[in-house]
Amino acid sequence: MATEERTIREDNVAVVEQVVMEAEVDAARDALLAAGRPPHDPGSPRFVRQQGTTCMSTSLANGMISLGEPFFDEDRERRVHLFTDDVVENTSSFQKPGEFRSVDDLFKYLESGRLRELEIAGGRFRDDYRVRLTCSLLDVVEALWSGRGRLLVQRAAHAYLVFGVDVERGGAVSVRVRDPFEATGPGYARLGLEALRENFLWSPLKKIPRLMGPHGFPQLTAEELLGHLERYEGMENLGVECPSALLFRAEDAPPLKGESEVS
């Protein structure tokens, strides 16, 4: 292949991103169709509407509800709102509007062990939880299909919960999305894999133009681009640069990149 053909440029990076996206969607759909209908049905839990600008922390609480956290079984709305207050008070407000928090803040809040010591309205959490930053569609559908994970994702300054995947007998695949602006109660929207990947999952490739600057593209080959993406893959904490994360019970969460899987 000629050097020019292998170079990622400012005028072709969008095309490269589109090709990568289509390949990821095809791979995820093929995997789901081969696996069949999920062993776990997330149902339609009674979710809670956000107060103020707490969409991310409310979606975190709703994710825990969908994972069966009994702390929210009693006095649900009040406990969710008190919990989101605690998330806001114990995370950074730096450069964020109102009470909004990023998935990076949730990462730090949960990794600190805060849930193990938290008592709200006379109750304690039964389980501990973790988030793992992700831009992988395959990781997302695997977590949703197995029922072990939920996706917290920011889009256009608003945070959503993706809490289930459906594989129909005819081959149609969709995910269940809950907007915390919706009134307290059950209910969700459906989203196709293409829309999930394109509009809700962040891709490091989209950041390359800004990272490299106006003079970087003439020198950026495909091999060098892969080097940039590998560095992203090895990072745990990308803050608002990576607005999507999978929520797990602590015992189900993948180890951190630097952790040994052998204790």
Task: State the SS3 of the chain.
Answer: CCCHHHECCCCCHHHHHHHHHHHHHHHHHHHHHHHCCCCCCCCCCCECCCCCCCHHHHHHHHHHHHCCCHHHCCCHHHHHHHHHHHHHHCCCCCCCCCCCCCHHHHHHHHHCCHHHHCEECCEECCCCEEEEECCCHHHHHHHHHHCCEEEEEEECCEEEEEEEEEECCCCCEEEEEECCCCCCECCCEEEEHHHHHHHHCCCHHHHHHHHHCCCCHHHCEHHHHHHHHHHHHCCCCCHHHCCEEEEEEHHHCCCCCCCCCCC
Q: Does the pLDDT at position 228 exceed 80?
A: no
pLDDT greater at residue 5 or residue 124: 124
Would residue 213 count as lying in a domain? no
Model pLDDT, residue 151: 98
What is the number of domains present in the chain? 1
Check: pTM over 0.85? Answer yes or no.
yes
Would residue 97 count as lying in a domain? yes
Q: Does the pLDDT at position 197 exceed 90?
A: yes
Q: Please, which pLDDT band fits residue 205 given cuts at 50, 70 and 90? A: low
Give the mean model confidence (pLDDT) for residues 124-153. 95
Q: Please, which pLDDT band fits residue 120 given cuts at 50, 70 and 90? A: very high
Give phi and psi for 50, each to the nearest 5.
-70, 155
Model pLDDT, residue 240: 41
Model pLDDT, residue 175: 97
Model pLDDT, residue 262: 41
Beta carbons of 91 and 56 less than 8 angstroms apart: no
Beta carbons of 212 and 8 less than 8 angstroms apart: no
Tens-digit pLDDT profile for residues 56-92:
999 999 999 999 999 999 999 999 999 999 999 999 9
Would residue 22 count as lying in a domain? no
**CATH code, domain with 194:** 3.90.70
pLDDT greater at residue 231 or residue 31: 31
Would residue 83 count as lying in a domain? yes
Residue 65 belongs to domain spanning: 32-203+235-252
Residue 204: burial class (beta carbons within 10 Å; 0-12, 13-18, 19+): buried
Would residue 198 count as lying in a domain? yes
Model pLDDT, residue 7: 64
Mean pLDDT of the chain: 86
Would residue 193 count as lying in a domain? yes
- Percent over 90 (pLDDT), the chain: 63
Q: Please, which pLDDT band fits residue 2 given cuts at 50, 70 and 90? A: very low
C-alpha atoms less than 13 angstroms from C-alpha of 54 in its C-beta half-sphere: 21
Give the mean model confidence (pLDDT) for residues 7-35. 85
Model pLDDT, residue 256: 86
Model pLDDT, residue 5: 53
Most distant CA pair in the chain, distance: 67
Give me the residues paired with residue 177 across strands: 162, 189
Q: Please, which pLDDT band fits residue 217 given cuts at 50, 70 and 90? A: low
For residue 48, the one-letter residue type is V
Model pLDDT, residue 263: 40
Give the mean model confidence (pLDDT) for residues 223-234. 66
pLDDT-wise least confident of 1-5, 53-57, 207-211, 214-218: 1-5
Listed residue (59, 71, 129, 39) closest to 100, CA to CA? 59
Give the mean model confidence (pLDDT) for residues 114-128. 96
Model pLDDT, residue 235: 61
Residues 6 or more apart in contact with residue 117 via CB below 8 angstroms: none
For residue 189, the one-letter residue type is A
Would residue 173 count as lying in a domain? yes
Beta carbons of 133 and 26 less than 8 angstroms apart: no
Would residue 15 count as lying in a domain? no
Model pLDDT, residue 135: 83
Model pLDDT, residue 254: 93
